[in-house]
Amino acid sequence: MERPSQGKEIFVFSKKGDSGETSLLSGERVPKHHIRPETYGTIDEASSALGIARALTGLSELKSTITEIQQDLVVLGAELACSDRNSRYRITEEHISRLERWIEKFQEQVTLPRRFVLPGDSLTGAVLDLARTIVRRAERRCSELRERGEFIRKEVPAFLNRLADLLFVMARYADALEKAE
């Protein structure tokens, strides 16, 4: 799967956004408060929270999984930054299946509570729970995109739903292993 790139040089500022508009990958200009930049901005926020979890944890299994999730979120953000059906960046059924395999793998290693969880048993677990809530917000933004008649493929909300489930299980995994240290 091709990953989005910035080209040869990256410029930190272009001044094009100073007027309160931003460009989608299709070239279309929209207000920064438009639901589409709000949605892919929420994906970026989730990736940043995951970056904190990755930096905090000493668990190699979590580090590698988080890195792959962050790479998928780059693809998802690029897909959401396109307003048309022709985006070359796409979350696929394979992305969703991989999340499901990870859920099963982590779930086999930890007993899930049969009650509501108060985040904070471990620092990594708490940050993973924060990332999970950000992903849930992204799910709600995707729902709003669709409700407003914007194009969004069915794989996108399915991916986010599964990702939130995975992050819940990963947080419990982190709680169990890091609390024991």
Q: What residues does each domain of the chain span?
A: 32-109+121-180
Query: What is the arithmetic mean of pLDDT over 15-42?
Result: 81
Please give the pLDDT value at position 131.
99
Query: What is the arithmetic mean of pLDDT over 82-109?
Result: 92
Three-state secondary structure along the chain?
A: CCCCCCCCCCCCCCCCCCCCEEECCCCCEEECCCHHHHHHHHHHHHHHHHHHHHHHCCCHHHHHHHHHHHHHHHHHHHHHCCCCCCCCCCCCHHHHHHHHHHHHHHHCCCCCCCCCCCCCCCHHHHHHHHHHHHHHHHHHHHHHHHHCCCCCCCHHHHHHHHHHHHHHHHHHHHHHHHHHC
pTM: 0.88
Please give the pLDDT value at position 67.
99
Residue 5 has pLDDT above 80, yes or no: no
Q: Which CATH number fits domain 32-109+121-180: 3.30.230.10, 2.30.30.90, 1.20.1200.10, 3.30.360.10?
A: 1.20.1200.10
Query: What is the arithmetic mean of pLDDT over 79-95?
Result: 88
